[in-house]
Every structure is written in structure tokens, then in C-alpha cells.
Structure 1
Amino acid sequence: MMLSVFGLSIPISATELLLASFVFCLVFWVVKAWQPRVPKGLKSPPGPWGWPLLGHVLTLGKNPHLVLARLSQRYGDVLQIRIGSTPVLVLSGLDTIRQALVRQGDDFKGRPDLYSFTLISEGQSMTFSPDSGPVWATRRRLAQNALKSFSIASDPASSSSCYLEDHVNKEAEYLIGKFQELMAKVGHFDPYRYVVVSVANVICAMCFGRRYDHDDQELLSLVNLSNEFGDGTASGNPVDFFPILRYLPNPALDLFKDVNEKFSIFMHKMVKEHYKTFEKGHIRDITDSLIEHCQDKRLDENANIQLSDEKIVNVVSDLFGAGFDTVTTAISWCLMYLVTSPNVQEKIQKELDTVIGRERQPRLSDRLQLPYMEAFILEMFRHTSFVPFTIPHSTTKDTSLSGFYIPKERCVFVNQWQINHDQKLWGDPSEFRPERFLTPDGTINKALSEKAGTGLHPGLARTLFLSRRGWGLVPKRSREQRECPDSGT
């Protein structure tokens, strides 16, 4: 028997033809078996064809948020891609994402069981753990209560309204003084290296009651660990979707493991020191607050669950790491926009002078009287979208969205860059214009601010607060310094 392919005649026996047909049918059957059965009345999410084994990795490239935003224009706000052999649901569009994360929040509140997540906080991170059951909820609630209660507690020896405000004021005052010193000496500098150390100091003060000198080696080691962690996650973790890479030489994975191990050692050391010096009724920081909760054995009202002492390290790690990189990046972007937009800087200066004056530091309670500064920070988050995706979600059960069937444990990417640059929502998304968040009477447009905040992950709430507080000291600058010199600042 002769088989004709592209004009070529290839001899083939009946047995070989039968075997080839059998293999084809077997592969087809396996592929069909892998695909979930779609209930009647629903459809499978659309998406482009991908490469065998690789999926859409090559298509996504270095800017996957841009590629997926373009694909959403073709396939809609609910589309599906594959990374390796793993199907991934990609959500875009404000209404679609609100439907998934708010109205159907319980269906999409899970985390995918990714290998890299097991390396963070010894696999017990509240942020990255695939567990979303009662134990997870109890730990999360305890962490939120500890953070909230300590943040609003007043320090009798300070004029600030709470410990957090006091820590940020001290660090921001030092930071601005350092900037002025550097400008007087050399006329230009890279602010990031100073901002990241100040941010680390605020978080250390909140979590461990300790403020470091800026050249302290332990503090600088923490900053380096944070930078290495960011470098290790910036391009994603291929091992999450290509398991074979775990067993091959992988310098990036080795670095990621090493960073997390060193970070864990530091956390264990700090918590152990707190246990040794803990005094009931004398709460120095968030770690003390968590220890007190554990020693009081406060049980969960619904699930009868308590937090073991061993889990405190993981909770503190989450609280410590949540704002480290995002706060630094947000403040750095604020600096960039203030430098490159002197008209915006002047409006912020004028508002601060009018509302607060130059005789005192800003207070938390001033926030509602500073709508332009609020609009500036909201626009910074929207325009930069420096965290283009949320931490991946996962479905907790079989569900549907916009008429599409979504099976349980489906990995979900939320493209918040697409929301923040949707021309239908913003009109001119590429323009940096804080005024878009203000109503005609000069107050914050709450409806629009909610649109910008739909996709922000939890760490950014603290980023927003610290950025706002840090820049409250801008009035101390003289009016002659508003314009940025032509240096490389």
C-alpha cells in the first residue's frame, strides 16, 4: 500500500496503518478525557490554539499582561490559555472581575497548588496557601485583628494618633532630610536604595518593635533578601507549570529556595526572642499581640479552632512581607511622578499648605481633607499598574461565569492592568491625570476610585496608606525646590 503525503508516495503496510490509526484514536480519546464535561446550557471558555507541551508560553512573552489584554479584545473577558499542560482561566473587564471576585467570591477565593507557593513561609502562608478552609480563615482574621488593634493603639509618649503613624512620621522625616542632604552635596541620586531601607524600618518597627540604623547589617540583609525574592518572582516560576524543571539544574529555583530559607530563619529568630521577653499586658508590637492571642487560647466561635504557637512565625512572615516590595515601589513611583509633573506637585503642595500648614506633621485624620493627594495616589496605582496581575486564584468548586463553565481547581489569572487601561472606562488611559478621580466639586469620585481598586491585592492597601503618610512631609520643602533640576534624579 502506498500513502501519498505532499506529493510523495510512502510505502506503508496495513499493520502500520492500523497501528497509526489506533495511536491517533488513543491520543484523541485521552485529550477528550482530560477536557471537563460541560453541563448543558454552558460553554467552554474560548482561547487561541497553543503549542504542544509549551501551551502559550511563547505567545505571552515578557509582557503577558499586554498580550492577554489584546487577546481579551478578540476572545472576550473570559478566555482560557495553557501554560505547559495546565489550563489557565484569564479574567479581564471590570464587570466580569467584580462578578467573579465579589459576587461569586467564595467560588474564586482559592489558590492554585503551585510548587513555588510551598516554598514561601514553609508552605503555610495565608497569602499563598491553597487552603481556604476554617483554619485559614481563623489565621487570617487573627492577623487582621492584630494589625488593626496595634495600628490604632496610641503611644502615650508621642503626639501621633497611633504607633503606625508615629513610626512612619519618624522614618519619613529622616528620609526627606536625607534627600535634602544628598541634593545639597551632589545634586542627584537614586532614591530607591534609601526608600527601601526606610520602608523596611517601618515594617520592622511594626512587627518587631525595632528600628535599625540605616547602615545596620541585619537590616541591609533583609533588604537584600527582599530584592532577591523580587528578582526570583519577577519573571514567574516555570517550575509551577513545568514540574520536570525541579529535577534539572536550576539556579533561579535554587536562589528562590535559599532566599525563603534565610527569611524563615530570621523570622524564627525574631519570634523566639519575643517569646523570651514577652510580658502579658505589655504589648510592644504585632508579634507580641499575636503571642498574647495564642496564650489566651481564644477559640474561633464557629469552627472551634485556635492558632498554635508554631503558626505565629508564618503569620508574622505574611504581615512582614506583604508590604515590603510594594510599598517601596509605590513610593518610588510617587517620587517619579512628582519630579516629572511639577504642576501636579504644586497642586499637592498647595493643598497640604492650605489644609495642614507648615507648623505640624500630617495626621491620619487629615486624609479626608486631602482629596487631590488621594486622587494623585489612585492615579499612580492606575497608571503604573506595577502589579499587573493579582496573585493567582483558583476555583473552589465547579462553577460558571458569564455563561462559561469553570471546573473546580482551575487556575485563574486576573488582569488588573487591563482594567486600569480600559479605554471604555477611562477615555484616555495612557495619560497621567489625577483630576479624573475628582468630582466637579473637588471631592473624590468614589465610584471611579472603586474601579481603580478592584484588582489591588491586599498588600497594596498598606502601600496606599504608607505612601500617603510618607508624602505628608512634602510641605517641609521650600517653594523654591518645587521645580526639579535637570539632573538625573
Structure 2
Amino acid sequence: MIYECFLAIAGIISILTLASYIHIIYNCKCKVIVKNTLKNGGEIKQKFMQAPGPHPWPIIGNLDIIGRFDNPFEGFGALAQQYGDIYSLTLGHTRCLIVNNLELIREVLNKNGKFFGGRPDFLRYDKLFGGDRNNSLALCNWSQLQKKRRNLARRHCSPRESSAFYTKMSTVGCHEIDELMAKLRHDIVPGKSIDIKPILHAACANMFSQYMCSKRHDYDDEEFKQFVHFFDEIFWEVNQGHPLDFLPWLLPFYGHHMRRLRYWSQAIRQFILERIVNERELNIDPDAPDNDFTDVLLKSLNEDKNMSRNTIIFMLEDFLGGHSAVGNLVMLTLTYIAKDPTIAARIQREADQATHNGVRNIGLHDIDDMPYTMATIYEVLRYSSSPIVPHVATEDSVIAGFGVTKGTIVFINNYVLNMSNEYWKNPEKFEPERFLEIKLNNSEETLDDRVQFQLRKNVSHFLPFSIGKRTCIGQNLVRAFGFILLTNILLRYDIKCPDLTMIKINPASLALPANCFPLQLTPRPKE
């Protein structure tokens, strides 16, 4: 349970709470002042009521309420039944706003995105990024430096389908598939399950490293294995909630945990410096064409005096770390396939048709011919309902007529978008078909011949990578390498889990524990 100790803390604190404090809080009528700048430079002041919500306890706020749910985002949706689609909570001493429907989410992220470009100031985030979370692209506050970093990365990390970088992704991915298949042939024992997750992540890490740094690593390289494992631990970490995030006075009880976070991040940084950056710095030619994203970053040191060496190292670390999202996505997809073999059969049918029964690897040019496969990936993203990173108000603002004070954390409840009957039919069921629509060909053909499927376009209520100026810049990398990895494994192997009771999945997270459960891979018979 994400906030597993909240109830225990709440019970202890409530015993010690003075009745007078409760009386004061319960009778507090909160208003905020929002300044509106006039065209002539003057200001007017208007009073806005804060959004409704449960009254907080001293010290812990409303953490006791969220602690009642295994999944806090499910709890956010349940509270919306009582307080409406937008309401406030106090977590610890931090004021929070919970946004639960599509229109309000668009108001926050699109219409008023400039007011909500901050990120939560959690101690764990600082520890993971050299003492300052603003070193991270995903966890930093919006700034001119952040804008510059995104612009620098856009061509390489968010390539368009017609670009040379997109073709390069496909080439790199297919080459790594050859290495992965050799590894699997060596490690798989017939009839035995295998701890496939570290191997998946190593393949993903090599795809990212080869694409961004022109460097790959051997699967049995111990330092590389540690690098991959620590990134997986960090991906799990940032997808979990901790009491420490809202109760920083608990820090003395988290000393060991915080030291572990620091060790992980330092080891990753040292690996990137020793294996990639130091050598490339010595050989960089400022006049030569860029070979990869690392060239772009190193050249920016000479071209932009506002870019520091520290900045580019953290940028490279951030994007290389994206492989953990891909690895977890593919592992989750294989897990759902192991639970329902009919999904695998349909993907394998598409894979066989695209490759003429496996005579070559599957590349990105095959995506349009494999709509069911992409629909399955999207359904995993929907079904996992992975939370969007919370936003923070950087100045006083207004949402739906309610005042929002600077520093308020805004939770975008992606779970309610992905699991609500309002937006989906039978949302509790895992059905890739919901992302497909019928494509009709020549009307003179029989109905059976004419029925083909294509991916549904513009599903407006499906926002796995968020929207607005802080949308995930690496989403094309996630889709591309995830597609290549998943399809080529299923092209050659059947997936099973002999003991389905071992599978434990959090319905509100894309992350799986670094050490989760094994799967059984059986080579498909050759026709």
C-alpha cells in the first residue's frame, strides 16, 4: 500500500491532538487573494473561495483519509463523489488540489499551463538528482533553462516518423534484438521460468545508449548490470508515494533509505561519466556533423555559455533513464499476455504476416500493419493508469472559479480518466480492442474480406504522456523501442506464467518492483 503507515501515524497523532486545534480548523473559512494585472499596469484584487474538501487534522492533514485506500488515486476518485470533480486536500502541511475530469485537466495543463509549471519539492527528488531536483527534466520547475533543455533534446528524443532519427531508432532497435535473441537462446532452459525483467531492461538500456551515445554494453558486464538495476529501482521509487514527501519531519527515520537513493544516483552518474562522457569529451570535433545526442550536448557547452557540464550530464542521465519506462511497459505487457494467451496469438498473427513468418526482425516501418499490437500497448498504459507527475502552482491563479495559492500541489487524476465508466465501456476489463476501429476497403468485397482494423485516432480522454508544455518529451522513444522489443519477443516466443498467483500488479502504476516475478518463454515452432 502506497501510504501504508498513514493510518498508524494518524491514530497516534489524533490521540495527542488538542480539541481546540480541531475546533479552529473545522471552523476556518478559507479565502485567497488573486491579483489580476490590468493593461495599464495597475492591479485589482478579487476574492475567490478555495475548492471544497475535508477538514484537515493538525500535522498530518488529510493523510489519514488517503491511507484508507490501497491506491491513492482511486481514493481521489472516491472523494470526488462527495466533493465534486475539483476539491482540496491538505497532505501534511501542504495544500493540494485534486482535478478529476477531462475539462478541468485541460484547463490546468493547457489553458493555464503557465501558472502550473512547478513540481513538488520532495526531499527524495533532491536526493536522486545531486541535491537539487531541478537537475531533472521531469521533476524540475519550469524555467528558461528547462525550455532550452527541451528544445535541445527535441529532434533526437521526440523524432517525427519521417525523420532520419526515426529511421535510426528502428535500425538501432533491430540490431539490439539480434543481441537479445542470442542472450535468450543462451539463458532459457526448456520448461523453466526465467527472470526476464533484468534482461529486458538491459536490452532497453542498450537501445537508448546506442541511439543517444553510439555505445552499447555487454549483457554480462557487471557494472552495466548494476547501472540497469539501479535505474529500475529509481523508476520504482519515483512512482511510489512516501509519508516523507508530506511529513518531512520524518526524515530521521528515513536515513538508510535516503542514503540508498543517493548511492544509486551517484553510481549511475559515475557510470555515465566513465563509460561515455569522459572519452567523448576528449574527441569531440565542434565542426563535424552530429552523430548522436551526446554530440549535441557536448557541443552545446561551447556554443551556449549558459549550459554547464553538470547540466548536460544530468540531461543525458535523464534520457538514458527513459529505458526503465520502456522495460516496465514491456514487462507489464508480457504479464497481461501471460494471463490471456489469446492476446499473444493475435499479436503473433500480425507479426507473422508482417515478416512473412519471421524471416526478418520487426521494425518501426511495421507499426501501421500491426494495429492490434499497438492497441495492446495503449491498453496497458490505460489499465496501469500510471499517475501524471503532480504540478505545482508557481503563482496565485484560478481554476473553475476556485482560488489556487502559489505553492499548491495539483494532482491530475489520470486514474479517473482511464478507469471511469464515463469515458470507457467496461473499464475494469483488459480489452485492447477498445483502441481499434473498423477500416473498410473496397465496398464490392464481401463483408468478411472488407473488415480490417486500424488504431483509433485522437482519443481525447487518453493522456498517458500528459498534455501541455510539460508533456513527456520522450514518448516517441517509449512507443518505438517498446514496440520493437515486444513484437520481436512474441515473434519468436510464447509467454506463460505457470503460477499466476505470483503476479502482483499495482493498478495505478506503470512501475513493477525491480525484483518481481519470472515468466516462461517457449520457442515458437517454425513452420
**Band the TM-score falls in, shorter-chain normalisation:** 0.7 to 0.9
Q: Please, which moves more after superposition, 450-459 or 132-141?
A: 450-459
- Report deviation, 1:316: 1.0
| Aligned residue among 257, 278, 286 for 1:272 | 278
| Aligned residue among 137, 140, 144 for 1:134 | 144
| Aligned residue among 288, 300, 317 for 1:293 | 300
Q: Please, which moves more after superposition, 409-418 or 248-257?
A: 248-257
Larger relative strand fraction = 2
Q: 1: distance between equivalents of 2:237 and 2:429?
A: 31
Q: Is residue 2:484 matched to residue 1:473?
A: no
Q: Secondary structure at the match of 2:455?
A: coil
Hey, what does 2:265 align to over in structure 1? Answer: 260
- The 3 A distance-change label for structure 1 pair 471 and 234 is closer
- The 3 A distance-change label for structure 1 pair 63 and 450 is closer
Q: Secondary structure at the match of 1:81?
A: strand
Hey, what does 1:95 align to over in structure 2? Answer: 103
CA contact (8 A) 1:372 1:438 kept: yes
| 1:30-429 matches, cutoff 5 A | 36-37=32-33, 42-61=48-67, 62-122=70-130, 123=132, 124-148=134-158, 162-179=167-184, 182-230=187-235, 232-247=237-252, 250-269=255-274, 270-280=276-286, 281=288, 283-295=290-302, 297=303, 306-321=306-321, 323-357=322-356, 358-385=358-385, 387=386, 389-429=387-427
For residues 56-92 of structure 1, the C-alpha deviation after alignment (integer angstroms, 9 at most, x for no partner) is 2232224212211211222222121111111111122
- The 3 A distance-change label for structure 1 pair 221 and 70 is same
Normalising by structure 1, what TM-score?
A: 0.81
- Report deviation, 1:476: 4.0
- The 3 A distance-change label for structure 1 pair 368 and 171 is same
Task: List, as ranges, runs of 4+ consecutive aligned residues in structure 1 with deviation greater than 6 Å.
Answer: 149-153
Q: Secondary structure at the match of 2:361?
A: coil
Q: Secondary structure at the match of 2:88?
A: strand
- The 3 A distance-change label for structure 1 pair 370 and 292 is same
CA contact (8 A) 2:60 2:92 kept: yes
Listed as ranges, the gaps of 5+ residues in structure 1 are 1-22, 156-160, 299-304
Q: Secondary structure at the match of 1:400?
A: strand
CA contact (8 A) 1:182 1:188 kept: no
Q: Please, which moves more after superposition, 456-465 or 195-204?
A: 456-465
CA contact (8 A) 1:437 1:449 kept: no
Q: 2: distance between equivalents of 1:218 and 1:73?
A: 50
- Report deviation, 1:172: 2.5
Q: 1: distance between equivalents of 2:253 and 2:438?
A: 60
Q: Secondary structure at the match of 1:443?
A: strand
Q: Secondary structure at the match of 1:267?
A: helix
- The 3 A distance-change label for structure 1 pair 76 and 485 is closer
CA contact (8 A) 2:158 2:476 kept: no
For residues 309-340 of structure 1, the C-alpha deviation after alignment (integer angstroms, 9 at most, x for no partner) is 4421121122122x132111100011112222
- The 3 A distance-change label for structure 1 pair 85 and 260 is same
- Report deviation, 1:121: 2.9
Q: Please, which moves more after superposition, 59-68 or 173-182?
A: 173-182
- Report deviation, 1:195: 0.9
Q: Match of 2:366, as an amino acid? A: D
Listed as ranges, the gaps of 5+ residues in structure 2 are 1-18, 35-44, 440-452, 500-518, 521-527
- The 3 A distance-change label for structure 1 pair 461 and 95 is farther
Q: 2: distance between equivalents of 1:174 and 1:283?
A: 26
- Report deviation, 1:51: 2.4
- The 3 A distance-change label for structure 1 pair 112 and 486 is closer
CA contact (8 A) 1:94 1:454 kept: no
Q: 2: distance between equivalents of 1:376 and 1:469?
A: 13
Hey, what does 1:448 align to over in structure 2? Answer: 459
CA contact (8 A) 2:392 2:410 kept: yes
Q: Secondary structure at the match of 1:293?
A: helix
Q: 1: distance between equivalents of 2:254 and 2:189?
A: 49
Q: 1: distance between equivalents of 2:182 and 2:234?
A: 29
Q: Match of 1:347, as an amino acid? A: R
Hey, what does 2:506 align to over in structure 1? Answer: none
Q: 2: distance between equivalents of 1:52 and 1:224?
A: 40
CA contact (8 A) 2:97 2:410 kept: yes
Q: 1: distance between equivalents of 2:55 and 2:389?
A: 25
Percentage identity across paired residues of the two chains: 23
- Report deviation, 1:486: 4.7
Q: Match of 1:446, as an amino acid? A: K
- Report deviation, 1:219: 0.4
Q: 1: distance between equivalents of 2:187 and 2:347?
A: 23
- Report deviation, 1:379: 0.8
CA contact (8 A) 1:146 1:290 kept: no
- Report deviation, 1:255: 1.5
Superposed CA RMSD in Å reads 3.3
Q: 2: distance between equivalents of 1:439 and 1:314?
A: 42
CA contact (8 A) 1:204 1:210 kept: yes
Q: Please, which moves more after superposition, 246-255 or 370-379?
A: 246-255
Q: 1: distance between equivalents of 2:384 and 2:93?
A: 32
- Report deviation, 1:254: 2.0
- Report deviation, 1:184: 4.6
Q: 2: distance between equivalents of 1:360 and 1:143?
A: 31
Hey, what does 2:450 align to over in structure 1? Answer: none
Q: Secondary structure at the match of 1:424?
A: coil
Q: Provide the aligned length of Structure 1 versus Structure 2.
A: 449
- The 3 A distance-change label for structure 1 pair 380 and 176 is farther
Larger relative helix fraction = 1
Q: 2: distance between equivalents of 1:308 and 1:455?
A: 29
Q: 2: distance between equivalents of 1:244 and 1:237?
A: 13
For residues 7-45 of structure 1, the C-alpha deviation after alignment (integer angstroms, 9 at most, x for no partner) is xxxxxxxxxxxxxxxx969x959x969863477574311
Q: 1: distance between equivalents of 2:328 and 2:344?
A: 19
- Report deviation, 1:434: 1.0
Q: Match of 1:291, as an amino acid? A: L
Q: 2: distance between equivalents of 1:434 and 1:253?
A: 40
